[in-house]
A and B are shown apart, each in its own frame.
Chain A
């Protein structure tokens, strides 16, 4: 399972010169900044800095890229906790409990929890990658279109079940996202729902739409207050309290490890990644505790589960990238671009031919997770000043940064226009208690769901009995049905009666 001579070569590659380490700290800082600023994403940071890797050897380039990935994995939790705007889809579930903690004045602890969970999960995911890179690759190969379709739909229904209060509104928000996500060209070349706007032919720009929905949901609510945290003493950034959050993380080892494992497994599935991993880990954490009603109201365990999963999914997606050459998402797709820039072909033979290099990348990520703890604490100290800024200054500033960010993503005015439209939709959704996160997940998974539905239809010839021949698909289908029937089941079996009662409507 482990090739020790290759490990020895990997250590020589890593410690033979300073150059691989020189790029790590800048990479982490870039990732933290791009993750923490709403509107900027890890993928954007990687794309912008990709040309720099031409001047690096391949190992340094991969360390630089994975450092940005690692920094962004935690960076996106900072706005999620402080202002309820996940910098990226990976931090959607972090908002569920992170922001209520910040509202209670426990933003220091929440950030400490997020940082420790991210660092631990990152290290654990690469340890698993070290041990299981070959078996993971084999398992992922067994997932075909029907399984991928069900995983996608499961991710979509989970969010409606998760937000609890209004199950029907959650499902409707998810369906709306799914429909919006299918706007543009179909696989056959049919043009749907573009209203004659050329910018929409490739679909709604997802990140500006996501930013609009999330910005609106919180910023319009914030306008009624003077500060994000009203009490002056609660706005202070305290190293002692951040460290107390770090320590508190390890009081919930089961949540931490389970969240990390879910992140690794989901991260290894191409196209699903951290956006679903954090939701699934959060849902699992809530399902398995004795007091699930505390989730969504500022429970530290929710932050730990979500952050552990979104960070550990990096290890999972790297497994798929290294083992199969398949990028699981935007970030790994750019890494595949870095492969190409160095004339290296990813794919099943890559590991066999470059074992020392793969092990060196894995070991460098162990060091990154430790470095993230140190750099992240300093960065939190700076980022925490967001809650000390008056809302009257913060709200227009975030809107302006988001408009710039949206322009950066699309390269034209379509990004800011999408942001505007979805800001208004999100504002209304927030007013009437529809979970914007469900719409975002629907929007992000629409392409996956439609593509896999099409392939499943073609493979099965339209015969539903085809699924009976696929045991993994059947298991996933049962889980999907249970998610859909959750409010009914909860009421019938008196599981979490309060939650079930709240799910009406």
Chain B
């Protein structure tokens, strides 16, 4: 980001994460205070939240770097296309990470609907595909065997009811 003769280097992703943590600390502190302002309730939460917020501030300040530059200097900047950004993200493994995280979310929330056996089969097959496995027989066979073995094993071992489609 450039303002006049000053250029700001900001680690936006990291800064957003620090702000998220700071927001959680403020929200939790206020929520605890709303529950009760008794010392016994806030004995740990209040000092820990304040300390965490100070740390957030100290870290956030270091994420913004100011650089002075010659007014005539400066590059027009590269305008990357959406496709090239996606390609770069895929190469860096970021997109695969996002896809696997999304699949994990679908898996966790799909378990009550589809049962552990089917949801596990689908998650394994889709997860392996996203990570580069392309052999259809292996995708189907390994996912089915692993999902069935895991589902059956846990169902036998656990005393609590486990949502299943087949067992």
User: Interface of A with B (CB < 8 Å)?
Assistant: 48, 168-169, 171-172, 175-176, 178-179, 182-183, 186-188, 190-193, 220, 223-224, 226, 390-393, 395-397, 399-401, 403-404, 407-408, 411-413, 416-417, 419-420, 423-424, 427-428, 431-432, 446, 449-450, 453-454, 457, 462, 505
The residues of B with any CB-CB pair to A shorter than 8 Å are: 13-14, 17, 21, 24-25, 27-28, 31-32, 35-36, 38-41, 43-45, 48-49, 51-52, 55-56, 58-59, 62, 92-93, 96-97, 100-101, 104-105, 107-109, 111-112, 116, 120, 123-124, 127-128, 131-133, 142, 146-147, 150-151, 154, 157-158, 160, 162
Picked from A403, A411, A413, A453, the residue with its CB within 8 Å of the CB of B112 is A413
Bound-state CA distance A224–B59 (Å) is 28
Cβ of A374 to closest chain B Cβ, rounded Å: 26
Taking a contact as CB atoms under 8 Å apart, the answer to whether B44 and A182 are in contact is yes
Contact (Cβ within 8 A) A192 B48: no
User: Which one of B43, B96, B108, B128 lies within 8 Å of A413 (CB-CB)?
Assistant: B108
In the complex, 26 of the A-B residue pairs with CB atoms within 8 angstroms, ordered by the A residue number, are A48-B157, A168-B55, A171-B51, A172-B21, A176-B21, A179-B48, A183-B28, A186-B40, A188-B41, A191-B35, A193-B31, A193-B32, A223-B131, A224-B96, A399-B104, A400-B124, A403-B108, A404-B150, A407-B116, A413-B112, A420-B105, A427-B97, A446-B44, A453-B43, A457-B39, A462-B39
- Report B28 CB to chain A, min CB distance, Å: 5
9 new A-B contacts at CB < 8 Å, known A186-B41, A432-B13: A172-B55, A175-B49, A176-B25, A182-B32, A220-B101, A393-B128, A393-B133, A408-B160, A457-B40
A220 and B52 contact, CB distance less than 8 A: no
Given the interface pairs A223-B100, A392-B133, the reply to whether A416 lies near B150 with Cβ below 8 Å is: no
Least CB distance from A193 to B in Å reads 5
Would B158 and A192 count as touching, CB distance under 8 A?
Answer: no
Distance from B111 Cβ to chain A, minimum over Cβ atoms (Å)? 6
For A397, what are the chain B residues with a Cβ–Cβ distance below 8 Å?
Answer: 124, 146
Using A396-B123, A396-B124, A404-B150 as known contacts, say yes or no to A169 and B59 having CB atoms under 8 A apart. Answer: yes
B48, A175: Cβ atoms under 8 Å? yes
Set of chain A residues within 8 Å of B150, measured between Cβ atoms: 400-401, 404
A224 surroundings in chain B (CB, below 8 A):
92-93, 96
Give the residue name and chain of the B residue nearest to A393 (CB).
Answer: B128
- Closest B residue by C-beta to A423: B104
A446–B104 Cα gap in the complex (Å)? Answer: 28
Q: A396-B124, A399-B127, A431-B13 are in contact. Are A416 and B97 (CB under 8 A)?
A: no
- Residues of B contacting A390 in the complex (Cβ-Cβ under 8 angstroms): 133
A125 to chain B, nearest CB (A): 30
Contacts of B109 in A (CB 8 A): 417
Contact A175 B51 (CB under 8 A): yes
Summarize A's interface: helix, strand, loop or mixed. Answer: helix
Question: Are B17 and A404 in contact, CB atoms less than 8 angstroms apart?
Answer: no
Report the nearest B residue to A192, measured CB to CB: B32
A434: nearest residue on chain B (CB-CB)?
B17
Q: Say whether, besides A168-B58, A188-B41, A193-B32, A427 and B160 are in contact (CB < 8 Å).
A: no
Q: In the complex, A226→B49 CA distance in Å?
A: 41
Asked whether, in the complex, the Cβ of B146 is within 8 Å of the Cβ of A192, the reply is no
**Residue of A whose beta carbon sits closest to that of B92:** A224
* Complex: A226 Cα to B131 Cα, angstroms: 9
A182 close to B133 (CB less than 8 A) = no
Whether B100 pairs with A172 at a CB distance below 8 angstroms is no
Query: B28 near A179 (CB under 8 angstroms)?
Result: yes
B111 and A413 within 8 A (CB):
yes
* Complex Cα–Cα for A397 and B127 (A): 9
Residues of A within 8 A of B48 (CB): 175, 178-179, 182
Complex interface: chain B residues within 8 A of A395 (CB)? 100, 127, 131
The chain B residue sitting closest to A505, CB to CB, is B62
Quick check: B35 and A192 within 8 Å, CB to CB?
yes
Contacting pair B124 A454 (CB below 8 A): no
A403 to B93, CA, bound (A): 23
